[in-house]
Chain A
Amino acid sequence: MFKRLRESKSAQGTLLIIPTLIFMVGMLIIPLLLTTVVSFGHPNANGGVTYTFSLDNYIRLLGFTNDCPPGIKTCFTTLYLGILWRSLTLGFNTTVLDILLAFPLAYFIARIHPKWRDTLLFLVLVPMWTNFVIRVYAWMMILREQGVINSLLGWTAGLLHVPFKPLGMIYTPGAVLVGMVYEFLPFMILPIYTSLEKIDNSLYEAAADLGASPFRTFLRVTLPLAMPGIVAGTILVFVPVMGTFIVSDLLGGAQVILIGNLIQRQFLDARDPTFGSAVSLAMMAMTIVATYFYTRKFGFGEEIVV
């Protein structure tokens, strides 16, 4: 048997994927199957799950409910669909803003003298060494009623002798957007930097040589060659934004509830893991569909990675 193994390339190949296979099954497939099974069940009184096969949780997610005014058996609420939609738009807005912020930064780092490059990349990464939650707390300090911004504005107003009423920035959708954009910016900068850094200077010179102004060079050369980075960054930002609940918890308060918060509350507060599982799966399906259409339109960019 060992002799055959030594001689057969394909048998060796099979053997080599076994660790990956174990990992995938243990960490991905089994949990997913469990989640699916749970999502078809019902919560019972002591916070456990009664295993059934019912679509009640999914019907509830679509907005149909029995909790209606007297006399009506089922009625419809946009509560959950609204949360899904809000999460999608937030994911979209965060991604777009991150692209707009990250591109110039990444371009700057890629084009600056190499001796500065490591320092700048280091500075991009430094915030990621502090805890995620602490970074969000920092934004609370900045945005809240007696926070950094309002204090500065108040102080300036005091100097100018004009009346000042603190701006209500925290616990708004805007605050959540700012927090998300900030949290995930490095995940956009790094892949875009990687693809821009690969563009040889002679390509910019060739474009100029052939009569392209800097603007047209950007449109015809820089942007297409940066696409793989933008695509990768988009996936790295959009997917986690859809699932994060800490940012909206701390900066959005009760105002801004996202899918992440909804799931978290089902598991921790409402003690209904079945509905939580259903929402989780719905979110995953949504993300996969969005990513599928996105990559089908823009590709993963591998064919143009130089």
Chain B
Amino acid sequence: MSEFAIELRDVVKKFITPEGNELAAVNHVTMQIKNGEFFSMLGSSGCGKTTSLRMIAGFEWPTEGEVYIDGELQGRKPPFLRPVNTVFQSYALFQHLTVFQNVAFGLEMEHTSKNDSRRRVGEALEMVRLTGMDKRYPKQLSGGQQQRVALARALVKRPKVLLLDEPLGALDLKLRKEMQLELKSLQKEVGITFIYVTHDQGEALTMSDRIAVMSFGKVLQMGPAVEIYERPANRFVADFIGESNFLDGSVKSVKDGQAVVYISAWGQELTGIVTSKVNVGDEVAISIRPEKIRLSDQSTPNAISLDGTVVNSTYIGSDTHIYLDVRGQRLKVWEQNRVSTLDPRAYYQNGQKIQLSLVPENTLVLPKE
């Protein structure tokens, strides 16, 4: 068994658009997905996630580069010969077959014996909590149930890798949250490698062991959720994942994984952590997450204190979202409401003067691209 369940080596997929232009939907992508991993491809619509997945499944062939499944070069192997299965965004259930027949379809194609097939379909339906629904037709099920039939139909084949293309996209928010947790625990239970495509960053952060952030056919960053959120490789990733305050500046000096950046808008230098290589003189973006700015009078050592004015504050229950004007720059700060009180002053007032402190550990120096 190969160390990697899936490997994409410098894969390019070009399409001819209806206007007759050439479009690289996937542009020199390299990925190594380990066995048993819950791996997500995250990116906004049109960034090439589905195309990447379809090349693994065998519905598309790469224009350049190679796809390996379990160390084996796939070339132009058709989908029905690849040891992977797909959960389609539209579910693609066979409307003329019952739930049982849908799930048994893949086993029938493998010529599994009737008894084995019945037992495995039963297990699969139990796993997705659809026991007793086997005689229904897909049309007689709710969206969430149909989604689970699609899941059971793919899982029953015990594939090396399960490919999921925005499988929860059509469900309402509450059901989606439920299914996220269910999918995650299911994946741990069966131990199959999952490749999960989504444009929902919350979903990717919740479920994945590792995430590949994609944009315009390229992988911008690949790593565990913590790494993507706390050490984004560039400004785009920091902006796409979660929220952030950005300040423009130029690098004065770089040393020991930290850089000193001159913020011209403030006429002030800030020190921050370097995540990708930057050079002295580079135009960079400073990124500070809104929950990592401290509003207080007490200054920590090596913190930089700044004065600001509250422009707007919104009470949202667990937190208060405060929008500040700091020397002409807008900053957003999320403060946790740690004290239970009805006093409006505890939740900040418009026009209130306030002091905030920025520490280098919470300040990131990011390339703009």
Contact = CB atoms under 8 A, between A and B. Distances in A.
A224 B90 CA distance: 20
A200 B79 contact: no
Interface residues of B, number: 24
Contacts of A203: 92, 94
Interface stretch (B80-88, B189-197, B349-357): B80-88
B92 A211 contact: no
A117 interface: no
Contact of A224 (B59, B80, B96, B108): B96
B85 A202 contact: no
A206 B109 contact: no
A210 interface: yes
A208 B153 CA distance: 13
Nearest to B163: A209
B141 to A, nearest CB: 14
A227 to B, nearest CB: 8
A216 to B, nearest CB: 6
Contact of B109 (A200, A216, A224, A225): A216
B80 A213 contact: yes
Contacts of B153: 210
Contact of B86 (A206, A212, A304, A306): A206
Given A207-B94, A209-B79, A209-B80, 17 more contacts: A200-B90, A200-B92, A205-B86, A206-B88, A206-B92, A206-B94, A207-B105, A208-B58, A208-B80, A210-B106, A210-B109, A210-B154, A210-B157, A212-B80, A216-B109, A225-B96, A304-B95
Contacts of B94: 203, 206-207, 221
A111 interface: no
A103 B42 CA distance: 42
B78 A211 contact: no
Interface of B: 57-59, 78-80, 84-86, 88, 90, 92-96, 105-106, 108-110, 153-154, 157
Q: Which of A200, A205, A210 has the most CB of B within 10 A?
A: A210
A209 B86 contact: yes
Q: Which of B78, B84, B86, B95 has the most CB of A within 10 A?
A: B95
11 contacts: A202-B88, A205-B79, A206-B93, A207-B94, A208-B59, A209-B154, A210-B85, A211-B106, A211-B157, A225-B95, A304-B96
Contacts of B154: 209-210
- Please classify the interface of chain A as helix (H, G, I), strand (E, B), loop, or mixed, using the class held by over half of its residues: helix
B96 A209 contact: no
Q: Which of A200, A208, A209, A211 has the most CB of B within 10 A?
A: A209
Given A200-B90, A216-B109, A220-B105, A209 B57 contact: yes
Q: Which of B58, B94, B108 has the most CB of A within 10 A?
A: B94
A210 to B, nearest CB: 4
B16 to A, nearest CB: 12
A213 B106 CA distance: 11
Nearest to B93: A206
Contacts of B86: 205-206, 209
Given A200-B90, A225-B96, A205 B105 contact: no
Nearest to B54: A205
Interface string A102-123: 0000000000000000000000
Given A225-B96, A306-B95, A209 B90 contact: no
A210 B101 CA distance: 13
B18 to A, nearest CB: 10
A306 B78 CA distance: 27
A206 B84 CA distance: 12
